[in-house]
Structures are given as C-alpha cells and as structure tokens.
Amino acid sequence: MTEQLDVATSVKLQLSNGRTIPALGLGTIPPDDNPGSVKDQVIAAVKEGYRHIDTAWYYGSEKYIGEALKELFDEGVVKREDLFITTKVWPSFWHSPEKSLDISLKDLGIDYVDLFLQHWPIALHGNDNGQPTTPKNADGSLVYDDDPVNGTKYIETYHKMEDILDNNLKVKSIGVSNFSIHKLEQFLPEVRSYKPVVNQIELHPQLPQQDLVDYCESRGIVIVAYSPLGGNGAPVLEIPLINELAKKYMVTPNEIAEAYHILNNRGVISRSANLSRIKTITRLPRLTEEELKQLYQVGVEDPKRYNCSSYGYGIGFRWWDGHSLCNL
Ligand SMILES: NC(=O)c1ccc[n+]([C@@H]2O[C@H](COP(=O)([O-])OP(=O)(O)OC[C@H]3O[C@@H](n4cnc5c(N)ncnc54)[C@H](OP(=O)(O)O)[C@@H]3O)[C@@H](O)[C@H]2O)c1
C-alpha cells in the first residue's frame, strides 16, 4: 500500500473567501508539566512539513510558539508567508477581541494571523485583560456576562472581529469554534460582512455530528476537527478499525485518524509532545469511500464526546455529558 501514500501536510482546503488553509495543523495546547516544550514541537513539526499551527490566547503557549517561529525564520527554514497561523479570542475577552489579538501577535512575534477564531459562543465575566479566564461563583459555576443559553452578546465579539478584518491587516480571515447548529442559526443572520470561513469543533470517528458538518458545509464553512484523537491518552486510537486500517496501509493509527478528516475535505489539528511521533504522522493513506463510511459508522452506533467542559453548557451540542454549569 505504500505506493498509494500522499503527504498530508501538502493538502490545502479552499476557504469561502478565496484563501486556502493547510488541511493538517499542529495543535498547541501545552503539556501541564512542560509548557515550554511547545517550542520544540513547533520546530519539529515545521521541519517535517507542517505549515498550519493552531493556537489560542487561552493556551498560554503563544510565547513559546513565538520563540520557535523566530528560530525557524532566522534559520531560513520557512518564511512567515509559508505558514498558516490560527489564534482565538477567549470568552473572558469577549468585549475586547482586538486587545486579545494584539497580545497574541506580540507573543507570537508576528504582525498578522491567517485565521482569528471566536473560541466559544459565550460571554464570560473577565476584566479589561480577560482575567480571570475562568471566573467562578462560590458554588463553582461560571460567571457569565450574558445568559449562556439564549444570550447574544457573543455576537458583538464577532462584529468586532469583522471590524478588525475590515480595518487593518492583522487578520486574513475570521471564523468560529464550538458553534452548534443552534448557535449558528442564531448568529449567521447577524453576520454583517464576513461569514466565518471555519467552524472548529471536536470531531472524530466516535463523534461524527454529521448534521452539524452538513450544515456548515452547505453554507461554505470549512470544518476543522479538534481533538481528533480524543485528547489526553488518545482514546480514539483504540478503535479496532483504526488499527486494522493502519496495518493495511502500513501507517500509524494517527495517520488514519487524520486521513478520516482530510479525505472528507475537513481540516484536522492534533498535538503531540513526543517529537519522534510528530515526525511519523504526515502520510496520507488513501482510504476507500467504504472505509471512510465504516469509520463514520463507529460513532453513529456509539457516540462519545471527550470535551465536555462547562463552557459548552446549553449551547446546543448533543452528548455533552455533565450538562451543568459547574463541572470544570
Ligand atoms: N477550539 C477548541 O475549543 C479546542 C479544544 C481542544 C483542542 N483544540 C485544538 O486541537 C488540538 C488537538 O486536540 P487535543 O489537544 O485535544 O488532542 P489530540 O490531538 O486529540 O490528542 C493529543 C493526545 O494524544 C496523545 N497521542 C498522540 N498520538 C498518540 C499515540 N500514537 N499513542 C498514544 N498517545 C498518543 C498525545 O500524547 P503525546 O503528547 O505523548 O504524543 C496527547 O496526549 C489542540 O492542541 C488545540 O490546538 C481546540
């Protein structure tokens, strides 16, 4: 099967605004015990051909990515324009996306991002600097600036992001993350000039969410799959079918989990603190239509969502376990 392998890092997806996004991206949520290791992860990934880096103000990894970028640019490995860099505005900064963006740009050491996403469709109670990032009441529940279920303040954030795109050169495209059909229906009619080009959501064979995928695709919104391995411990890689296909195509299970999205014209961002692993996850096995359907079927029969944080309370996603305001 090796003769059928393409390179995942060279696949690009078309965005509705005429730009493109590399389908495979590197996730940069840092490991708790060694956040600085993100620098080496980015360097290893870019040297291996990755051209898409996904980060967020909230992750606390942007300064380490900035150090990596400086080294990569100084050594002439890549130029800024070779890379596609995404950052996000967190809900506690909902009132000041440009301030959040400016901090991200300063830490990253660049003067624009390719994609600026609204991290969640909610408004948390943060101060001028977006602090605290997870404001809590005495009972542990989140402190909102707006009703998380029916409130519409989060749309003001997107309007400000539209202004940023309109008025200056700090962002090339804008989009959203963790927007359910319910939120998109509330939000899309309110978009002024720039439709979101991307909706970044949890997606993998155990969580197909085909209705949401279809909804976005029919409106020209590219899906980017986060937690494609299910996050810590990579539970998705335990799916027997993924391992059978990895053997058949002589690739790693990671590459099957990525190919599931890329061959369906979706982006996918996964992370690893293991540098040797980063170097062995860039091949694109050409799974058949039948195999893609079989992978999809895994989650139709037994859906499982791995990210069920309180931020998702009431925003319209199915299988959000612990549907409460205080389970962070
Ligand atoms: N928009 C959002 O709200 C949102 C939410 C979550 C994530 N994201 C983005 O999506 C990215 C990826 O998602 P994620 O961070 O949840 O993680 P993920 O990519 O689904 O999984 C990463 C985990 O899988 C492990 N892993 C990878 N390959 C493995 C293998 N072959 N065997 C065993 N373990 C393996 C990694 O461990 P090692 O480090 O040891 O390799 C790591 O713990 C994030 O970094 C972030 O950029 C966005």
Q: Is residue 59 annotated as part of the catalytic site, yes or no?
A: yes
28 C-alpha vs ligand 1 centroid, how far in Å? 8
173 CB within 6 A, ligand 1: no
Cα gap 129→315, rounded to integer Å: 25
199 CB within 6 A, ligand 1: no
Cα gap 212→181, rounded to integer Å: 6
CA-derived radius of gyration, the chain? 19
Residue 258 pLDDT: 97
Residue 187 pLDDT: 97
271 CB within 6 A, ligand 1: yes
Pocket test for ligand 1, best of 270, 305, 308 (most atoms within 8 A of CB): 270
User: Which domains does the chain possess?
Assistant: 2-312 (3.20.20.100)
279 CB within 6 A, ligand 1: no
For residue 252, the ligand 1 atom closest to its alpha carbon is 31
Residue 145 pLDDT: 97
Neighbouring C-beta atoms of residue 18, cutoff 10 Å: 8
**Measured between alpha carbons, how far is residue 58 from residues 31, 40, 118, 120, 263 in Å?**
14, 20, 12, 12, 30
Residue 194 pLDDT: 98
Residue 309 pLDDT: 87
For residue 28, the ligand 1 atom closest to its alpha carbon is 45
For residue 226, the ligand 1 atom closest to its alpha carbon is 10
Q: Do 228 and 236 contact (CB within 8 A), yes or no?
A: yes
| Coil/strand/helix, residue 173 | coil
Q: Which residues pair with 84 in a beta bridge?
A: 52
Burial class (CB within 10 angstroms; exposed 0-12, middle 13-18, buried 19+) of 114: buried
> In terms of DSSP bridges, do strands 115-118 and 174-177 run parallel, antiparallel, or are they unpaired?
parallel
pLDDT tens-digit series, residues 4-58? 569 999 999 999 999 999 999 999 999 988 999 999 999 999 999 999 999 999 9
- The DSSP secondary-structure symbol of 126 reads -
Report which protein residue has its CA nearest ligand 1's atom 48. Answer: 226
What lies within 8 Å, CB to CB, of 289 at 6+ separation is none
Residue 1 pLDDT: 43
Report which protein residue has its CA nearest ligand 1's atom 21. Answer: 231
Report which protein residue has its CA nearest ligand 1's atom 19. Answer: 270
* pLDDT tens per residue across all 328 residues of the chain: 444 569 999 999 999 999 999 999 999 999 988 999 999 999 999 999 999 999 999 999 999 999 999 999 999 999 999 999 999 999 999 999 999 999 999 999 999 999 999 999 999 999 999 999 999 999 888 999 999 989 999 999 999 999 999 987 999 999 999 999 999 999 999 999 999 999 999 999 999 999 999 999 999 999 999 999 999 999 999 999 999 999 999 999 999 999 999 999 999 999 999 999 998 889 999 999 999 999 999 999 889 999 988 898 889 888 776 555 443 3
Cα gap 246→254, rounded to integer Å: 8
Burial 291-328 (b: 16+ CB within 10 A, else e): bbeebeebbeeeeebbbbebbbbbbbbeebeeeebeee
Residue 325 pLDDT: 47
189 C-alpha vs ligand 1 centroid, how far in Å? 33
For residue 29, the ligand 1 atom closest to its alpha carbon is 45
